[in-house]
């Protein structure tokens, strides 16, 4: 499966930096401080990122802002537009690309995913830690920007366990399951690269994995 990629990351990041700099310049010097560094969380679908993030947000209210990505895929049962994702048409997504509104975007499993400049800017301006849950190609794009993010990778114990989790969702066809497992292999291989991520957490014990994620995310506050 090919990952199709278009990006205007450099343009988008420059616009984001200028807007954030402008906001800082116009702020009261007595209360201005450096915004917390964004945290990019990635990992194969089914690794448990959403479960870990939901608990992190619940245990630390008012600390984080979740960058809600745009996607062209249909909502899964229980997902709410504007909460898990901003669900949009392909036409709307392409329009945002043409307007340079994304800091990163990619195509996975025939669906588009992307993070907008405005999503990150609104979180930073509120003084919250911005959490980005994005795909591998998005990680590569963010690394080419000056966003100064920190990178965390969440891995499954094994591909066998990952397959069990994905099947347990009841939302995958054999074809889509195969694509996700192939993508998972690529992401796990990519994560082995030196300096690709600041921290990797294997989610084989939810309690242990959560504490490691919590420590990493909060440990870099203000750095």
Q: What is the pLDDT of residues 96-133, one digit of tens each?
A: 999 989 989 988 878 999 999 888 888 988 999 999 98
- Report CA Rg, the chain: 17
- The reply to whether 2 falls in a domain is no
Confidence band, pLDDT 50/70/90 cuts, at residue 23? very low
Q: What range defines the domain where residue 75 resides?
A: 9-27+35-219
Q: What percentage of the chain carries pLDDT values higher than 90?
A: 62
Confidence band, pLDDT 50/70/90 cuts, at residue 93? very high
CB 104 within 8 A of CB 16: no
Structurally, how many domains does the chain consist of? Answer: 1
State pTM to two decimals: 0.73
- The reply to whether 1 falls in a domain is no
Backbone angles phi, psi at 154, to 5 degrees: -110, 120
Q: What is the pLDDT of residues 61-86, one digit of tens each?
A: 999 998 899 999 999 999 999 999 99
- The angle formed by the CA atoms of residues 6, 7 and 8, to the nearest 5 degrees, is 145
CB 153 within 8 A of CB 199: yes
> Rounded mean pLDDT of the chain?
85
Question: How far is the C-alpha of 132 from the C-alpha of 103, rounded, in Å?
Answer: 11
**Strands lying side by side in the sheet with 64-67:** 64-67, 129-133, 39-42, 150-155, 199-202
Which pLDDT belongs to residue 33? Answer: 67
Confidence band, pLDDT 50/70/90 cuts, at residue 32? low
Where is average pLDDT lowest: 26-35, 57-66, 94-103, 212-221? 26-35
Confidence band, pLDDT 50/70/90 cuts, at residue 172? confident
- The reply to whether 3 falls in a domain is no
pLDDT at 6 over 60: no
**Overall average pLDDT of the 184-192 stretch:** 95
CATH number at residue 168: 3.40.50.300
- The reply to whether 4 falls in a domain is no
Give me the DSSP letters along 45-92.
TTSSHHHHHHHHHHHSTTTEEEEPPEESSPPPTT--BTTTBEE--HHH
């Amino acid at each position: 499966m090919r990952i199709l990629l278009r990006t205007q990351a450099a343009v988008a990041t420059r616009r984001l930096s200028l807007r954030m700099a402008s906001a800082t310049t116009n702020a009261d010097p007595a209360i201005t401080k450096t915004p917390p560094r964004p945290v990019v969380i990635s990992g194969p679908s089914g690794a448990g990122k959403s479960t870990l993030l939901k608990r992190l947000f619940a245990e630390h209210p008012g600390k984080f802002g979740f960058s809600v990505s745009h996607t062209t895929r249909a909502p899964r049962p229980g997902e709410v537009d504007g909460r898990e994702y901003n669900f949009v048409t392909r036409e709307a997504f392409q329009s945002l690309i043409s307007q340079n509104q994304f800091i990163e975007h990619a195509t996975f499993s025939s669906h588009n995913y992307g993070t907008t400049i405005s999503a990150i800017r609104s979180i930073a301006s509120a003084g919250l830690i911005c959490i980005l849950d994005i795909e591998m190609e998005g990680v590569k794009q963010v690394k080419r920007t000056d966003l100064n993010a920190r990178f965390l990778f969440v891995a499954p114990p094994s591909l066998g366990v990952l397959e069990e989790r994905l099947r347990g969702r009841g939302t995958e066809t054999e074809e889509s399951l195969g694509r996700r497992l192939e993508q998972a292999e690529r992401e796990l291989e990519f994560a082995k690269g030196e300096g690709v991520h600041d921290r990797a957490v294997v989610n084989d014990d939810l309690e242990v994995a959560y504490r490691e994620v919590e420590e990493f995310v909060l440990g870099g506050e203000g750095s």
